[in-house]
Amino acid sequence: MVICAEPAPLKITKIIIENFKIYKNKFVLKLNDGLNVIVGDNEAGKSTILEAINLALTGQINGRYVINELSQYLFNIQTVNEYCKSLTTEKPLEPPSLLIELYLSEYQEFRGTNNCEKKDCCGLFFSIKFDENYQDAYEKLCKSREIRSLPVEYYKVEWKSFALNSLIPRLIPLKSSFINSSETRFSNGSDIYLSRIIRDSLEDDQKIDLSQCYRRMVEAFSNEEAVKAINRNISGQAEISSKPVEISVEIANTNAWEKIITTYLDQIPFQQIGRGEQCIVKTNLALTHKRSRIANLILIEEPENHLSHSNLNKLLEYIKNKCSGKQIIITTHSSFVANKLGLEDLILLSNQYTTSFNDLERDTYAFFSKLPGYDTLRLLLAKGVILVEGDCDELVVQKIYAQQNDGRLPIHNGIDVISVGLSYKRFFEIAKKIDKKVAAIRDNDGKITSIKNNDAAYLKENNNKQVLFYDPVEHEYKGEIEKYNYNTLEPCLLRSNSLETLNSIFRTNFATEDEILNYMRTNKTDCALKIFETEIHFDAPGYIKEAIEFVNE
């Protein structure tokens, strides 16, 4: 075995996962040296990546050593089912194995070719596989009865470097801290996760002091007159044993104090405070205790859980400041987290494939970082997207979509309608990276020549994935309303429908188009809601119908 000295400033350059939980086939993820923000839909495998890294570095899963927690559910369920089914055929499959490989930046003692790529590089692997020493017993088992689950009792754990050095956690120079602030497990009223952090933060002499304090407390309990009287009563009640029977407080080992310690916050037991406050306290404490201070790698599971917008913003700033110079891997469902930490470090996980966004325009990164309210993840995770200028446009477009699709709203078909103002080019740039079909709908504002010049790359004749749609005609309004732009959504709706139809939808009784147009202009939100809720059929502007047909193709 290799004995390592001080932790080296190592980074994980790549991880390979095979047959671990959701990952059946070989999954490869390349990581940045600094921040990595992993996003993806539910069940995409984000949490599994953190679990795999933590397992390969610590040998633990869910806080327990995996050697004592072997289960077929650690393996990909499809692989397990295929294996069990094959045992009834003439060509049974070999018992499946599980593999996690971490490729490291540089550590000569771990350099070798014992990896699935057979390359000379630095790293380690963690494997759970069939133990050949049980081959005879396994064959007898297969002959004696039908196997419906993986025989993990015949499996072994193999944990080595690429140089085939056997490993234990203290021999691995890459130290990690896994922070899952939403994890809540209680034992004797105390949060296990928080108690573990506090315990790890204590020096040895402080633990000894606690142990001695606990012993004195036990002795004081036993010497109370009320307790002595109860014990005399118990012994006198019945012949329980030839030896004295007493009640007391457990003091079986030096760490017995851990079982009764409960964390308080402002004199309130930790488990009784709000979940958002719990998340903040646990994350902050995890980042400041000594394990994180010496850790090269910080793993954070969904920091946004239970947090308000302002508290999440504070927490993200805290993470960035405390983890400077470390490698950080964060999983999230929050667009705010992704935008705030930086799209250049974003990794989209979809169908076990990854996409990085480290080659977007610099001003696009700055735009989303400074205005992190934009729903970038909705764009990434939807089947198709329609971008509109404002919230009122969003309601109207959804209604038009429903009219064209048997009453189904866009989201029912996996299509998301997102209000982005005139920032559609920023979203187009992101969509292009993942080959996502996106339609942007905008008013022409009487500036068709400008649109054709500035947005030529996104017009339908020049692009088949990210396309801009607008009314192709400039309209001059000759009514009595002064300085009114006749090239926005409301006038387009008026041109497409009769005055009678719009009066019916808005439940109004205007006599002229001037009057109803002025009403629509000054009551945009109310009109959009009435359009969205109406059962009356109305005609949509052609450019909006084209955009909807485009995303549905």
Q: Where does a domain end: 175, 209, 224?
A: 175
- Residues 147, 40, single domain; the answer is yes
d(CA 55, CA 38): 18
Name the percent of the chain lying above pLDDT 90.
41
Nearest-5° Cα angle at 136, 134 to 139: 105
Within-domain flag for 352: no
d(CA 376, CA 335): 6
Within-domain flag for 168: yes
| Statement: residue 291 has pLDDT above 70 | no
Question: For residue 197, what are the domain limits?
Answer: 187-333
Chain segment 10-32, per-residue pLDDT in tens: 899 999 999 999 999 899 999 99
At 147, list the tokens: 């196997």
Q: Are 218 and 249 in contact (CB under 8 A)?
A: yes
Average pLDDT, the chain: 83
Within-domain flag for 3: no
Within-domain flag for 493: yes
Q: Do β-strands 176-179 and 297-301 pair in parallel, antiparallel, or remain unpaired?
A: parallel
Contacts of 272 (CB under 8 A, 6+ apart): none
At 292, which amino acid appears?
S
At 4, list the tokens: 């390592």
Within-domain flag for 197: yes
d(CA 442, CA 428): 14
CATH number at residue 85: 3.40.50
- In our burial notation (b when 16+ CB lie closer than 10 A, e otherwise), range 494-521 reads bebbebebbbebbebebeebebbbbbbe
- Residues 141, 280, single domain; the answer is no
- Residues 398, 325, single domain; the answer is no
- In our burial notation (b when 16+ CB lie closer than 10 A, e otherwise), range 415-426 reads bbbbbbeebbbb
Q: Are 161 and 2 in contact (CB under 8 A)?
A: yes
- Three-state DSSP at 500 gives helix
Q: How far is CA 352 from the centre of its chain?
A: 14
Q: Where does a domain end: 175, 210, 226?
A: 175
pLDDT class for 5, splitting at 50, 70, 90?
Answer: very low
At 74, which amino acid appears?
L
- Residues 131, 254, single domain; the answer is no
Chain segment 427-484, per-residue pLDDT in tens: 999 999 889 999 999 998 888 999 999 999 999 889 889 999 999 888 776 555 555 6
Chain segment 124-147, per-residue pLDDT in tens: 999 999 999 999 988 888 887 778
Phi, psi for residue 276 in degrees, rounded to 5: -65, -45
| Statement: residue 120 has pLDDT above 90 | yes
In the β-sheet with 353-356, what is the strand arrangement from edge to edge?
A: 176-179, 297-301, 327-332, 35-40, 346-350, 353-356
Q: Angle of helix 309-322 relative to helix 275-288, nearest 10 degrees?
A: 10
- Residues 18, 42, single domain; the answer is yes
At 104, list the tokens: 């490291």
**C-alpha dihedral, 178 to 41 to 182 to 358, nearest 10°:** 40
- Residues 165, 288, single domain; the answer is no
d(CA 166, CA 2): 8
Distances (CA, A) of 224 to 148, 211, 218, 228, 370: 58, 20, 10, 6, 64
pTM above 0.85, yes or no: no
Q: Angle of helix 391-404 relative to helix 524-533, nearest 10 degrees?
A: 20
Q: Where does a domain end: 175, 198, 225?
A: 175
- Residues 170, 191, single domain; the answer is no
Within-domain flag for 365: no
- Residues 131, 215, single domain; the answer is no
Tell whether the torsion through CA atoms of 66, 70, 73 and 75 is positive or negative: positive
- Residues 34, 139, single domain; the answer is yes
- Residues 420, 492, single domain; the answer is yes
d(CA 131, CA 143): 18
- pLDDT for the residue numbered 102: 96
The answer to which of 87-91, 172-176, 368-372 has the lowest mean pLDDT is 368-372
The answer to which of 27-36, 240-249, 405-414, 447-456 has the lowest mean pLDDT is 240-249
Within-domain flag for 362: no
- Three-state DSSP at 107 gives coil
DSSP 166-233: B--GGG-S--EEEE-TT---EETTEEHHHHHHHHHHS-HHHHHHHHHHHHHHHHHHHT-HHHHHHHHH
- Residues 161, 217, single domain; the answer is no
Tell whether the torsion through CA atoms of 477, 479, 481 and 482 is positive or negative: positive
Rounded to an integer, the average pLDDT of 230-259 is 63
Q: Are 44 and 349 in contact (CB under 8 A)?
A: yes
- In our burial notation (b when 16+ CB lie closer than 10 A, e otherwise), range 228-259 reads eeebeeeeeeeeeeeeeeeeeeeeeeeeebbe
Distances (CA, A) of 528 to 392, 400, 505, 518, 538: 5, 11, 10, 14, 13
Within-domain flag for 359: no
Chain segment 308-328, per-residue pLDDT in tens: 767 777 777 777 777 777 888
Split into its structural domains, the chain has a count of 3
Q: Do β-strands 353-356 and 384-388 pair in parallel, antiparallel, or remain unpaired?
A: unpaired
- pLDDT for the residue numbered 266: 66
- Residues 507, 399, single domain; the answer is yes
- pLDDT for the residue numbered 52: 96
d(CA 457, CA 467): 9
